[in-house]
Structure 1
Amino acid sequence: MTSAQTAAERIAELRSEIDAHNYRYYVLDEPSVPDAEYDRLFNELKALEAEHPELVSPDSPTQRVGGAALAAFGQVRHEVPMLSLGNAFEEQDLIDFDRRAREGLDLPSGDLFGDGAELEYSCEPKLDGLAVSLLYENGKLVRGATRGDGSTGEDISANVRTVRNIPLKLHGDGWPSVLEVRGEIYMPKAGFETLNARQLEAGNKPFANPRNAAAGSLRQLDSKITASRPLELCAYGVGRSDGDLPDTHVGILEALRGWGLPISRELKLAKGVKECRDYFHAIGEKRDALPYEIDGVVFKVNSTAQQRELGFRAREPRWAIAHKFPAREEVTELLDVEFQVGRTGAITPVARLQPAQVAGVTVSNATLHNMDEVARLGVMIGDTVIVRRAGDVIPQILGVIPERRPENARAVHVPAHCPVCGSAVERTQLIKRSKGRESVTEGSIYRCVGRLACQAQLKQAIIHFVSRRAMDIDGLGDKIVEQLVDAGLVKSPADIYCLSFEQVLALEGFAEVSSRNLLKAIDASRTPSLARFVFALGIPDVGEGTAKLLARALGSLDRISRALPDVLVYLPDIGLEVAHEIHSFFDDEHNQSVIAQLRARGVQLQEEGDVHPDFAACATLGELLDRLNIPFIAATGAQRLASRFGSLGDIIDADWLDLRQVERLNEKAARALRDYFDDPANAARARAIEAQLKEFGMHWESERKAAEGLPLAGQTWVLTGTLESMSRDDAKARLEALGAKVSGSVSAKTSVVVAGPGAGSKLTKANELGLEVDDEASFLKRLASLES
């Protein structure tokens, strides 16, 4: 409040702003500020009204909940108001709540001789979804409604009936003749990711977060749309009840579960405020592993008799509180945008922010990913932006608050020259190939063309090369790499193996022992596995998993380096764009020189061999023809050609009379085939692909081989949660040694999911798909059996 404002003016201003936010949040499902900003405004209004009670009015946001019902739906009057909860942001807020509850019940307070009487509390996560009311009459679901403004909500009966875990008829018996169940409808993280992928594929705007997705799904006038969304209910209480219920909150929830209604799996009973604090911290630690979004914990006095005795304030019950986690979203100012240069030369915009506390951490930088994201957000320097930080994820800008944009806001532009080396910056191009056509579009990445002449790219390339998952040179950290590059001692990865004792000793922070230890670590890294070496090279778009696939499938660096893009795509999960990146990397003279230097300086690759049996004779003639993208020759036509001629050479040389003998090959397709192979470049390309398939043993006429000693060959496993007896990396290595592929995502093709403590959305999806799931004990037993 400014000095010129009166309390009445500030209260009126706050009410207007909060009402606007309520409308956007509850009615439009388009929140304009994060929860932390809303809470600040709300608490300021509460404080002012407490100081000036004569200014409190019935229409103040502090006296009611949310916004009005949407006119598109029928209205439902809640016989028992659906109130919101008071919030605790600090531990002291929770302690004060407990003290007020005990005082309200006239329980003995603590003194020098004891802590006094302790209350029992139910504890459960506060889900981030949409509060709903479900009315059951004689055990049958007859109505569903939103909370609305607490007194009147929207009739969404048709939509709630499509939520799969809401029972249309209660199970068992003993339920009241009229029972109003209250709960939260939310969208699990895995479902949210799938929905957004569908949205993007259809060219639609993705949802900002699971809460918005859930709320938007429930407010569809067409219930078919709601039915297509992955929504779930979690019941948290009851409203009206014409019949007897248990006399505790936990007892009521257990009864609801018995009647077929889902309740939180994290529901616990706590005695006293200390156990509540312990629960809050425990849930906070596993928050990111949960399969759904939560923003805090709800504590409720467990005894319903005590709940009735404590009663209500105007807006909230005195017997419950929501203890919020530190805000993961915050509002701050975008001071500037700088550009960083990565290992592959990618120029990445980084937001410099007015420092703000987000999730308990001071955030002053945030990623903007690329210029397409800058355009999507519409962000300008000087804007007030919403920043989010979740767990250990790099902070990111979620959106802009347009009404706060200053007049002097500046647009964000990509620099024409690299901010490190001054080389030109070029936008990447994406080449899409289809039947007879090749289209070029602009990519989202800008790159410095300076390559290893650019100090930033060189440093990042070396840091990646020596990292633990690559060449694993212990003691060669980021700062040491920077010293070596700045001193001109390392100009490529191969130079690491020429370092002398005197050169290392001269570096800052090194003595004789540490210098010898580093040289020993460098020497020990001279015998990497093929997969580690390929990953260490830093090929664009080739991560650890792709490097392992290349090593396992092709068996030697020579084959990997010579493989044509059209041959690489026969390997699973390698698309044409990645195949071209791999081929271009090894086709580059500088990269060839560095690899030759590494080998000349003693780097000897391990675990090289033949093409893996899984890929022997894996190609077919029909598939090769189809992959050539000849106009009007689809997969079925390619197969007919292969069946008729039997060899690629015969197809290339076929004349019109020969082609007329191919079943259902029309004149247009025949002409397109002849035109394609009449081009010498096309014929040469096809013959080169076939020649390499023969050389690698992948040709359809090659000898098929059986995989030996690999009991999990062809299987895909997923690891989730924490393993107590070994690291995830060790588990992954043991599975791969047995022939399994270890994936980071669950799908219908997954063979087994290993779920340790803290397993989240992957375990949920595995259960939904009915996949085989091993706990750690079963996994260890299976490993012991397979490895014996």
Structure 2
Amino acid sequence: MTDSAARILQLRAELEQHNHRYYVLDEPSIPDAEYDRLFNELKALEAANPQLVTTDSPTQRVSGTPLTAFAEVQHEVPMLSLGNAFAEDDLLDFDRRVREGLDLPAGDLFGGGAEIDYCCEPKLDGLAVSLLYVDGVLMRGATRGDGSTGEDISSNVRTIRNVPLKLQGSGWPAVLEVRGEVFMAKAGFDALNARQLASGGKPFANPRNAAAGSLRQLDAKVTASRPLEFCCYGVGQVVGELPSTQVAVIQALKQWGLPISKELRLAHGVEECLAYYRDIGARRQALAYEIDGVVFKVNDLGYQRELGFRAREPRWAIAHKFPAMEELTELLDVEFQVGRTGAVTPVARLKPVQVAGVTVSNATLHNMDEVARLGLMVGDTVIIRRAGDVIPQVMAVVAERRPADARPVAIPQSCPVCGSHVERTQLVKRAKGRETISEGAVYRCVGRLSCEAQLKQAIIHFVSRRALDIEGLGDKIVEQLVDVGLVHSPADLYTLRYEQVVVLDGFADLSTRNLLAAIESSRQPALARFIYALGIPDVGEETAKLLARALGSLARVQAALPEVLTWLPDVGLEVAHEIHSFFEDEHNRTVIAQLLERGLQLQDEGELHAEFSACASLAELIDKLNIAGIAATGAKNLADKAGSLQAVVALSQDWLELSVMKGLSEKAKQSLRDYFANPANVARAEAIEQQLRDFGMHWGSEKKQAEGLPLAGQTWVLTGTLELMSRDQAKQQLESLGAKVAGSVSAKTHCVVAGPGAGSKLAKAGELGIAVLDEAAFVERLAGYGIVL
């Protein structure tokens, strides 16, 4: 054997081992850069020695030209479907039939009879495939097809990263047909749809459709670009020896490098099967992938052979399905609801249908752009999807069932609640030197708090748990207070008297006193809670906390100019304009003034946070003025040359001095001259600088020393169920240590705390190599910072 041939074999073995650790075990042992170095070395060696290239080489996962059609594959052992159980009684009947088929002792008054061991696995919602290994090398991949004949998808299967091109270890049969499911995890599906939308493509309806469509591409390069995964659950054709039980066979496949379900369990008796089904059902939404049930198989392979098959399904296995998550029904009408911000949202009124065990009669339509995308008309037959507690959604229209009298959906011209005009929102995109205005997807009622719907939703938000947290003020009570005219704004809550409340429906002496006491106890909210309670568009809980922590007082938040707000992390110019516009509005200012006059005393107010003292620079100020042709580098050159804003303005009008300045294009110089020739622009720039001075953010301000917090600058994510504390408590503890708690995992995440039931976020952390703590380790970490639960 030549040195090149030996090195090629060594590299292939190393790369397959690293693929297995990365894609199957989630335990990468080398950085990506080292993997790439090994891969590129192998490619170079194979290019120099083409006679040594084999189909099991990691370089051959994507190769060849696109196919014109798939060849047929005859399954030596038919790929049969499974019988279904939809209720517990169905599974009990299955277990009874198994025991009777094996002539095992039945239960009586003196005992439960013989119990069967079952292999238990989630039923993945993907596409069944067959992988044929000959002497340990992947020779063919095929779809299930009709069970007897499938399609040859070998090129596409090779692109799936957790499918080994060559089996690991030893002891595998000479011929081994592995059967399993190709699927797409939730995180991968979301990322794929985001790419589809970004490129102007049509998003996939669900992960199963995305996986099936990706696997049946005639060009394997398209399949390779999709986030597909494989999980094996059994075998077909075998020439050689295998263990004698289903679970042992699956464990053997794992030893040979094939991915198996981490939820694989052995159940002793049907009651343990039912417990497994309930447990998986409770954790279903937290799993990283979609499942539609649980598969139970008699574990003893001798028993399987004895039980045999009926027409098209084995007698030794059954799929215990979860309640359907998609159903067909009729769209009876589309009504329009008005939300807290005045958004007029279409809601589908449906012919009632059972979806995932719940009767569904309404579904969200999001906005009129979604109605147009679906091509929806009243009278259509539609596909409804419901996942866990998520609001049911109209997924698609069955166009061929459209009746002749179907009618289009039209946005109302007047608010269905108050009769005010309904107008389409406009999107303002601000770039260097210009603003671009386009139509938004949302329609709004212009009636504001004179519209009862907006008023009710605004107050419901104001008193909610994460805002002012006024216990006892539920939705129905808020609606009643508005309906009888006692409350016209959030400030009116603090003028309610005993005699006004006690006569309302559902109130008596004790409940009235409790409500008034709860309102009274809310008079000292933290500044962050108060800002969040105001319901500023695009300002969620985290942004409210940032505004409160950074600026330190309501007065500064109210006065802050949009450009000044953009010095705060994660506050873009569009959100900054929303904040500024909210506090500029006269009605909003009046309500805030009334709240303060009626006794609200904001807590945690103080100075600008030390982190933001003297945080601004002249170059950043110039850049934020959005002068056409002047980006960060040009702004720095101007700042270095001029030294002050006044000098920049003077320079812009001194054409001779400006013309010889280095570091600015002629176009940028002209833009600078034109910009400051407008007195309004000069006044705007001076106002921004003055506010930076007033706040203490100016480059000439005193730089204060921030008190160090151990987790300052770190982003943490909480996922799964925590048992020793609530998620909110964990979040509060992390924030008290200076960390930011985010809702999703990204490359910027520092650490993930994962409790039982952690799903896609935990999987994402594994993909990105982010540190993960279980709850015990998290509590220990908190104790190290002096926080003892």
Compute the TM-score of the two structures, normalised by the length of structure 2.
0.89
Distance in 2 (alpha carbons) for counterparts of 1:606 and 1:680:
40
Partner of 1:748: 747
Partner of 1:691: 690
Unaligned runs of 5+ in 1: 1-69
User: What is the CA deviation profile of residues 14-39 of structure 1, one whole-angstrom value per residue up to 9, with x for unaligned ones?
Assistant: xxxxxxxxxxxxxxxxxxxxxxxxxx
**One of 86, 90, 95 as aligned partner of 2:92:** 95
**One of 145, 148, 153 as aligned partner of 1:148:** 145
Structure 1's consecutive aligned runs of 4 or more residues displaced over 4 angstroms after TM superposition are none
Partner of 1:575: 572
Secondary structure, in 3 states, of the residue corresponding to 2:112? strand
Secondary structure, in 3 states, of the residue corresponding to 2:378? coil
Distance in 2 (alpha carbons) for counterparts of 1:652 and 1:525:
49
Partner of 1:628: 625
Distance in 2 (alpha carbons) for counterparts of 1:230 and 1:403:
32
Question: Given residue 593 of structure 2, which amino acid in structure 1 is its aligned partner?
Answer: A
**One of 446, 452, 455 as aligned partner of 2:452:** 455
Distance in 2 (alpha carbons) for counterparts of 1:528 and 1:709:
26
CA drift at 1:558:
0.8
Unaligned runs of 5+ in 2: 1-66
User: What is the CA deviation profile of residues 582-614 of structure 1, one whole-angstrom value per residue up to 9, with x for unaligned ones?
Assistant: 111100111111111111111000011222233
Paired residues for 1:470-485 under 5 Å: 470-485=467-482
Distance of aligned partners of 1:154 and 1:638 in 2 relative to their CA distance in 1, 3 Å threshold: farther
Secondary structure, in 3 states, of the residue corresponding to 1:333? strand
Paired residues for 1:630-779 under 5 Å: 630-654=627-651, 655-779=654-778
Partner of 1:61: none
**One of 524, 535, 542 as aligned partner of 1:527:** 524
Distance in 2 (alpha carbons) for counterparts of 1:149 and 1:652:
77
Distance in 2 (alpha carbons) for counterparts of 1:148 and 1:697:
70
CA drift at 1:330:
1.0
Secondary structure, in 3 states, of the residue corresponding to 1:141? strand
Secondary structure, in 3 states, of the residue corresponding to 2:785? helix
Partner of 1:585: 582
Partner of 2:367: 370
User: What is the CA deviation profile of residues 278-310 of structure 1, one whole-angstrom value per residue up to 9, with x for unaligned ones?
Assistant: 111111000001010000001111111111112
Distance in 2 (alpha carbons) for counterparts of 1:660 and 1:214:
60
2:420 pairs with 1:423: yes
2:155 pairs with 1:158: yes
Paired residues for 1:154-553 under 5 Å: 154-553=151-550
Distance in 2 (alpha carbons) for counterparts of 1:158 and 1:614:
55
Distance in 2 (alpha carbons) for counterparts of 1:435 and 1:75:
58
Distance in 1 (alpha carbons) for counterparts of 2:585 and 2:634:
37
Secondary structure, in 3 states, of the residue corresponding to 1:583? helix
Distance in 1 (alpha carbons) for counterparts of 2:640 and 2:170:
65
Maintained 8 Å contact 2:132/2:178: yes
CA drift at 1:664:
4.1
Distance of aligned partners of 1:408 and 1:140 in 2 relative to their CA distance in 1, 3 Å threshold: same
Distance of aligned partners of 1:365 and 1:304 in 2 relative to their CA distance in 1, 3 Å threshold: same
**Range with bigger deviation, 755-764 or 607-616:** 607-616
CA drift at 1:223:
2.3
Distance of aligned partners of 1:225 and 1:71 in 2 relative to their CA distance in 1, 3 Å threshold: closer
User: What is the CA deviation profile of residues 36-76 of structure 1, one whole-angstrom value per residue up to 9, with x for unaligned ones?
Assistant: xxxxxxxxxxxxxxxxxxxxxxxxxxxxxxxxxx9622332
Maintained 8 Å contact 2:562/2:573: yes
User: What is the CA deviation profile of residues 636-680 of structure 1, one whole-angstrom value per residue up to 9, with x for unaligned ones?
Assistant: 323332333333322222123333344342212211221222222
CA drift at 1:709:
4.5
Question: Given residue 492 of structure 1, which amino acid in structure 2 is its aligned partner?
Answer: S
CA drift at 1:216:
1.7
Question: Given residue 613 of structure 1, which amino acid in structure 2 is its aligned partner?
Answer: A
Question: Given residue 528 of structure 1, which amino acid in structure 2 is its aligned partner?
Answer: P
Paired residues for 1:52-67 under 5 Å: none
Maintained 8 Å contact 1:187/1:211: yes
Question: Given residue 605 of structure 1, which amino acid in structure 2 is its aligned partner?
Answer: L
User: What is the CA deviation profile of residues 622-647 of structure 1, one whole-angstrom value per residue up to 9, with x for unaligned ones?
Assistant: 33333333222233323332333333
CA drift at 1:140:
2.0
Maintained 8 Å contact 2:68/2:218: no
Question: Given residue 362 of structure 2, which amino acid in structure 1 is its aligned partner?
Answer: N
**Range with bigger deviation, 290-299 or 630-639:** 630-639
Partner of 1:787: 786
Distance of aligned partners of 1:501 and 1:90 in 2 relative to their CA distance in 1, 3 Å threshold: same
Distance in 2 (alpha carbons) for counterparts of 1:487 and 1:140:
77
Distance in 2 (alpha carbons) for counterparts of 1:105 and 1:503:
74
**Range with bigger deviation, 609-618 or 377-386:** 609-618
**Range with bigger deviation, 371-380 or 668-677:** 668-677
Maintained 8 Å contact 1:707/1:713: no
Distance in 2 (alpha carbons) for counterparts of 1:624 and 1:220:
51
**Range with bigger deviation, 503-512 or 353-362:** 503-512
Distance in 2 (alpha carbons) for counterparts of 1:203 and 1:563:
37
Distance in 2 (alpha carbons) for counterparts of 1:306 and 1:614:
70
Partner of 2:58: none
Distance in 2 (alpha carbons) for counterparts of 1:566 and 1:222:
49
CA drift at 1:756:
0.8
Maintained 8 Å contact 2:125/2:292: yes
Question: Given residue 704 of structure 2, which amino acid in structure 1 is its aligned partner?
Answer: K
CA drift at 1:762:
0.5
Question: Given residue 737 of structure 1, which amino acid in structure 2 is its aligned partner?
Answer: S
User: What is the CA deviation profile of residues 412-452 of structure 1, one whole-angstrom value per residue up to 9, with x for unaligned ones?
Assistant: 11111111111111111100112222111111111111111
Maintained 8 Å contact 2:379/2:406: yes
**Range with bigger deviation, 157-166 or 750-759:** 157-166
State the Cα RMSD in Å.
Answer: 1.6
Question: Given residue 660 of structure 1, which amino acid in structure 2 is its aligned partner?
Answer: S
Distance in 2 (alpha carbons) for counterparts of 1:344 and 1:90:
44
User: What is the CA deviation profile of residues 470-513 of structure 1, one whole-angstrom value per residue up to 9, with x for unaligned ones?
Assistant: 11111111222122111211111111111111112222222222
Distance of aligned partners of 1:544 and 1:73 in 2 relative to their CA distance in 1, 3 Å threshold: same
Maintained 8 Å contact 2:338/2:454: yes
Secondary structure, in 3 states, of the residue corresponding to 1:340? strand
Maintained 8 Å contact 1:640/1:662: no
Secondary structure, in 3 states, of the residue corresponding to 1:226? helix
Secondary structure, in 3 states, of the residue corresponding to 2:170? coil
Distance in 2 (alpha carbons) for counterparts of 1:702 and 1:156:
67
Secondary structure, in 3 states, of the residue corresponding to 2:455? helix
Q: How many residues align?
A: 719
Question: Given residue 273 of structure 1, which amino acid in structure 2 is its aligned partner?
Answer: V
Maintained 8 Å contact 1:162/1:223: yes
Distance in 2 (alpha carbons) for counterparts of 1:605 and 1:465:
15
Distance of aligned partners of 1:352 and 1:600 in 2 relative to their CA distance in 1, 3 Å threshold: same
Distance in 2 (alpha carbons) for counterparts of 1:264 and 1:409:
47
**Range with bigger deviation, 448-457 or 702-711:** 702-711
Maintained 8 Å contact 2:175/2:239: yes
Partner of 2:3: none
Maintained 8 Å contact 1:659/1:665: no
**Range with bigger deviation, 511-520 or 285-294:** 511-520
Distance in 2 (alpha carbons) for counterparts of 1:679 and 1:259:
74
Maintained 8 Å contact 2:378/2:406: yes
Question: Given residue 787 of structure 1, which amino acid in structure 2 is its aligned partner?
Answer: G
Secondary structure, in 3 states, of the residue corresponding to 1:110? coil
Distance of aligned partners of 1:778 and 1:424 in 2 relative to their CA distance in 1, 3 Å threshold: same
User: What is the CA deviation profile of residues 368-393 of structure 1, one whole-angstrom value per residue up to 9, with x for unaligned ones?
Assistant: 11111111111111111111111111
Question: Given residue 285 of structure 2, which amino acid in structure 1 is its aligned partner?
Answer: D
Distance in 2 (alpha carbons) for counterparts of 1:571 and 1:188:
35
